[in-house]
Chains A and B, each alone.
Chain A
Amino acid sequence: MRDLGFVLYLAALIGLGFKRPFLLVLAFAYIDIVQPQRLSYYLLNSVQISMIVAAMAFGAWLLFDTKKGARFAPRQAMMLILLLYAWVTTQYADFPVEAQDKWNWASKAMIWAIFLPLTLRTRLRIEAYLLFMVLSASAIFIVGGIKTAMSGGGYGQQIFMLNDNTGLYEGSTGSTFAIAIIPLILWFCRHGTIFPPDWRVKLFSANLIFACLLIPVGTAARTGMLCIAAVAGLVMRDMKRRVGYAVLVCAVGVAAVPLLPKDFTARFDTIAGYQSDGSATTRLAIWAWTWNYAQSHPFGGGFDAYRSSEIKVETKAVEGSGGVASVQAKTQDDKSRAYHSSYFEMLGEQGFPGFFLFLAIHLGGLIRMEVLRRRFKKAEGEDAWISPLATALQHAHIVYLIGSLFVGIAFQPFAYLLVAVQIGLDNTVSAKVREKKPIVLKPAPAAA
């Protein structure tokens, strides 16, 4: 029954695409994020639906969309270089079969991100694409939020629809992006035009944000808590009553602690006492291994090069009762540990060139969004949306980069979508400035 529903739904979405071809680009965003082919049992499983829709979207752009003013931005060029470089490292990868597997999905994400900005050439297209990203992600996070609220979740518990470590369905990845989309949801509450902000939009947004905040709790992902702290701080940048807000956030945080599941608070305690935590010490050990590996393989070992890692993990546990406590040190050998950090993932797999390209693509995005944010800060009327959107995209990106410190999500498609939308915004606004369309600015406040 669900299979048939998905097939009919996709048919309807693609059917609308025949009327307005850009909707095919949106349909691919939906397929890429929700992965309906994985949620269905047989019908969609048997066809390469994502490839078909991607090809249709590209074909529709090629045939029907105007290419006027289309521009290939420097960051698109950098992604193209990274793509070609990753293809080379895949050819001489330490683990050719596994590297090919990762290349298959990572290259598609990058190719789409290089193509996407060419289609995002109006304000409404940018808004529509972000709306599809947020609503598609909401299909995953609403389920996770409700299940966490009902059961408390926990490390290794299934709170998503799919028990599958791919895309946003993986606990730490889902936690990072659940928090990353919060600034975007807030932007829709002020500047949305597809669903103009009214009480229904605000009610849905508030509930979705709450569900997103519960995802790190439900997956017991400590990285997600750092992301929440980052978002809480970043939101203050444009706030008038910062002190009141800070007090409120602290009060809500303190009040929420007793309501959190014990599993979660116990796991969070291990951040301070990281030496007793195998997961944290393993991270440090694998990062040290990767650094040494990069010295001997400065051009990277190809995708999944971590598989050759051999590390020794030392943990210290305090045991004892009453007044006597003894420290037990244990050493364990571990093999084939994943990077647990996007930065080390890039360093190990794509070497120093890949690492610096990764930094340039992402830091370049932060800088460009800051430029737009400041340049249009005082814009009013039809340009009032630009600065807040640049800010929201920048904040979402910062959350991703913080999550990336502890999760290996360097090639996650959702992150590349964020980068692509940033480039689309940058190009759209630049085209507007090039055509010397008036930017409506607020009058300066009169001197007292």
Chain B
Amino acid sequence: MIDNLALALSHGLLILAAWRLLSRPDLDDPDIAAPAPPEPKKKSFLKAAAPDA
């Protein structure tokens, strides 16, 4: 049970990673930059919606 759970989780993530790599041109081409990491959310929704003072 535990064995199968761990196998399913790790193998699922491995195949998902492989799948995601298929659509990444920067896998083979060093001249293409990796996608920029998402901007950290600094403001909460309410603060972002409020007009600046």
Chain A interfacial positions (CB closer than 8 Å to B): 2, 9, 12-13, 16, 19-20, 22-23, 26, 30, 65-66, 121-125, 128, 131-132, 135-136, 138-139, 142-143, 146-147, 150, 161, 191, 193-198, 204, 382, 428, 431-432
B6 CB to closest chain A CB, in angstroms?
4
Chain B residues within an 8 Å CB radius of A150? 2
A49 to B10, CA, bound (A): 20
Q: Which of B15-51 contact A (CB under 8 A)?
A: 15, 17-22, 24, 26-30, 33-35, 37-38
Chain B residues within an 8 Å CB radius of A125? 27-28
Asked if A135 and B17 make an inter-chain contact with CB atoms under 8 angstroms apart, the answer reads yes
A295 to B30, CA, bound (A): 50
B43 CB to closest chain A CB, in angstroms?
18
Chain B residues within an 8 Å CB radius of A428? 30
A194 and B15 contact, Cβ closer than 8 Å, known pairs A124-B34, A142-B6: no
Chain A residues within an 8 Å CB radius of B26? 122-124
Asked if B6 and A146 make an inter-chain contact with CB atoms under 8 angstroms apart, the answer reads yes
14 extra interface residue pairs, beta carbon distance < 8 Å, beyond A139-B11, A198-B38? A13-B15, A30-B14, A66-B28, A122-B29, A124-B34, A132-B14, A142-B6, A143-B3, A146-B6, A147-B2, A193-B37, A194-B24, A195-B13, A431-B30
Asked if B11 and A9 make an inter-chain contact with CB atoms under 8 angstroms apart, the answer reads yes
Asked if B15 and A12 make an inter-chain contact with CB atoms under 8 angstroms apart, the answer reads yes
Of all chain A residues, which has the CB nearest B9? A142
Interface of chain B, main secondary structure: helix
**17 contacting pairs across A/B (C-beta < 8 A):** A2-B4, A9-B11, A65-B28, A66-B28, A121-B30, A124-B21, A124-B26, A128-B21, A128-B27, A132-B14, A135-B17, A139-B11, A142-B6, A146-B6, A194-B17, A195-B20, A382-B33
Interface of chain A, main secondary structure: helix
Asked if A146 and B2 make an inter-chain contact with CB atoms under 8 angstroms apart, the answer reads yes
Asked if A135 and B6 make an inter-chain contact with CB atoms under 8 angstroms apart, the answer reads no
A12 to B19, CA, bound (A): 10
Of all chain B residues, which has the CB nearest A204? B13
A197 and B29 contact, Cβ closer than 8 Å, known pairs A19-B22, A138-B10, A143-B6: no
Name the contact of B10 in the complex, choosing from A121, A128, A139 (C-beta under 8 A). A139
A16 and B19 contact, Cβ closer than 8 Å, known pairs A135-B10, A142-B6, A193-B37: yes
Chain B interfacial positions (CB closer than 8 Å to A): 2-7, 9-11, 13-15, 17-22, 24, 26-30, 33-35, 37-38
Asked if A124 and B27 make an inter-chain contact with CB atoms under 8 angstroms apart, the answer reads yes
B24 CB to closest chain A CB, in angstroms?
6
A131 to B10, CA, bound (A): 11
Chain B residues within an 8 Å CB radius of A128? 17, 21, 27
Of all chain B residues, which has the CB nearest A211? B6
Name the contact of B24 in the complex, choosing from A13, A124, A431 (C-beta under 8 A). A124
Name the contact of B30 in the complex, choosing from A12, A196, A432 (C-beta under 8 A). A432
A136 to B6, CA, bound (A): 11
A23 to B15, CA, bound (A): 10
B9 CB to closest chain A CB, in angstroms?
7
A144 to B3, CA, bound (A): 9
A22 and B28 contact, Cβ closer than 8 Å, known pairs A139-B10, A142-B9: yes
A318 CB to closest chain B CB, in angstroms?
40
Chain B residues within an 8 Å CB radius of A196? 37-38
A26 to B16, CA, bound (A): 13
A214 to B5, CA, bound (A): 18
Chain A residues within an 8 Å CB radius of B29? 122
Asked if A122 and B27 make an inter-chain contact with CB atoms under 8 angstroms apart, the answer reads yes
Most buried by B among A20, A66, A198, A382: A20
